[in-house]
Amino acid sequence: MAGHSKWSQIKRTKAVVDGKRGALFTKLGREITVAARNGADPNGNFQLRTAITKARAAGLPANNIERAIAKGAGQGDASSSLERIRYEGYGPEGMALLVEALSDNRNRTAAEIRLAFSKHGGKLGEAGCVSYLFEHRSEVRLNGLCEEEALLENLLDLKADGYALQSDGTTVIHGKFEALEHLQQGLHAFGWEVIGWEHCWKPLALVTINDQDHSETCQRLLEALESLDDVCTVSTNLAPTLEPQTG
């Protein structure tokens, strides 16, 4: 019986992992489809090239990428009704949230997002209610901790806003929203190993929640929003939770 129980647990865990992977692949495919509306050649379509690079990094199979491009390029009707929508709202203790979605049904998506907010102590707000708390900017990620003097010289040439060394051993360059393609191509031309790039919402200030129950509620709200099929990204001004110290 012990072996059977362990096997059942393994199957349940695998089902959860497979489900999350499938949902991620669906979202990535939608992003490619919408990007391909402006042209099926990634060499001439920076948005498409960005979406494909992100999808490949996540392990999306080549066949899925090709099908998504074909849909967006007019070889299917799946892309015609997809639209980008941004939602804004609040969580417990003043946590601000920006939710970006790709949807073919505004009413369904809004209802699902509103339900996630209300079930986890939050409230869906009006457009503009929290976006002023964030900066919409470009980020380019480089492989490795870069030699800073050479990097600074290149960033001055590219008019980047700055950089940050990450704990995972990468370096993130950030700049103005409209500078993403310029930064990505410029850093590549200077010989840096570019491994990713994106537009993102960065909070101007972070909110720290010390109450354990409220902190857990915030995490559940984030997870509920991120699990929705139509949701692409969830940005928040919640400060990262520090692991408890031992010893």
Q: Tell whether 20 and 50 lie within a shared domain.
A: yes
The pLDDT, as a whole number, for residue 167 is: 83
- Asked whether residue 163 is assigned to any structural domain, the reply reads yes
Q: Tell whether 93 and 68 lie within a shared domain.
A: no
The pLDDT, as a whole number, for residue 148 is: 86
Q: Tell whether 52 and 42 lie within a shared domain.
A: yes
Q: Tell whether 166 and 113 lie within a shared domain.
A: no
- Between residues 64 and 80, which one has the greater pLDDT? 64
Q: Is pLDDT at 170 greater than 50 in this prediction?
A: yes
Q: Tell whether 139 and 109 lie within a shared domain.
A: no
Please state which of the ranges 66-70, 119-123, 146-150, 192-196 shows the lowest mean pLDDT.
146-150
Q: Tell whether 128 and 215 lie within a shared domain.
A: yes
- Asked whether residue 118 is assigned to any structural domain, the reply reads yes
What gap in Å lies between CA 81 and CA 223, rounded to an integer?
A: 26
Which tokens is 165 given?
């060394």
The pLDDT, as a whole number, for residue 181 is: 94
- Asked whether residue 243 is assigned to any structural domain, the reply reads no
The pLDDT, as a whole number, for residue 16 is: 47
Q: How confident is the model at residue 1 (pLDDT cuts 50, 70, 90)?
A: low
The pLDDT, as a whole number, for residue 245 is: 43
Q: Tell whether 89 and 177 lie within a shared domain.
A: no
Q: Domain limits at 152? A: 134-203
What gap in Å lies between CA 98 and CA 215, rounded to an integer?
A: 18
Can you tell me the mean pLDDT for 69-87? 79
Q: Is pLDDT at 17 greater than 60 in this prediction?
A: no
Query: Which CATH number goes with the domain that contains 160?
Result: 3.30.70.980
Which tokens is 20 given?
């999350």
CA dihedral of 62, 70, 104, 109, whole degrees rounded to 10 = 10
- Angle (CA) 27-56-180 rounded to 5° is 80
What is the amino acid identity at position 134?
F
Alpha-carbon distances of 180 from 9, 134, 158, 229, 232, rounded to whole Å: 44, 17, 11, 27, 19
Q: Is pLDDT at 3 greater than 80 in this prediction?
A: no
The number of folded domains in the chain is: 3
CA dihedral of 61, 63, 64, 68, whole degrees rounded to 10 = 140
Q: Is pLDDT at 14 greater than 60 in this prediction?
A: no
Which tokens is 38 given?
């402006």
Q: From its phi and psi, is residue 74 left (phi > 0), alpha (psi between -120 and 50) or beta? A: left
- Asked whether residue 44 is assigned to any structural domain, the reply reads yes
Mean pLDDT score of the chain, rounded to an integer?
87
Q: Tell whether 99 and 219 lie within a shared domain.
A: yes
Q: Is pLDDT at 241 greater than 70 in this prediction?
A: no
- Report the percent of the chain where pLDDT is more than 70: 87
Please state which of the ranges 93-97, 155-159, 167-171, 218-222 shows the lowest mean pLDDT.
167-171
Q: Is pLDDT at 7 greater than 50 in this prediction?
A: no
The pLDDT, as a whole number, for residue 198 is: 92
Q: Is pLDDT at 21 greater than 80 in this prediction?
A: no
- Asked whether residue 34 is assigned to any structural domain, the reply reads yes
SS3 at position 197: strand
What gap in Å lies between CA 37 and CA 27, rounded to an integer?
A: 16
The pLDDT, as a whole number, for residue 144 is: 80
- Asked whether residue 78 is assigned to any structural domain, the reply reads no
What gap in Å lies between CA 81 and CA 109, rounded to an integer?
A: 13
Q: Tell whether 109 and 227 lie within a shared domain.
A: yes
What gap in Å lies between CA 19 and CA 229, rounded to an integer?
A: 11
- Asked whether residue 115 is assigned to any structural domain, the reply reads yes
Q: Is pLDDT at 216 greater than 70 in this prediction?
A: yes
Q: Is pLDDT at 247 greater than 60 in this prediction?
A: no
DSSP string computed for 94-146: G-EEEEEEEES-HHHHHHHHHHHHHHTT-EE--TTSSGGGEEEEEEEEESS--
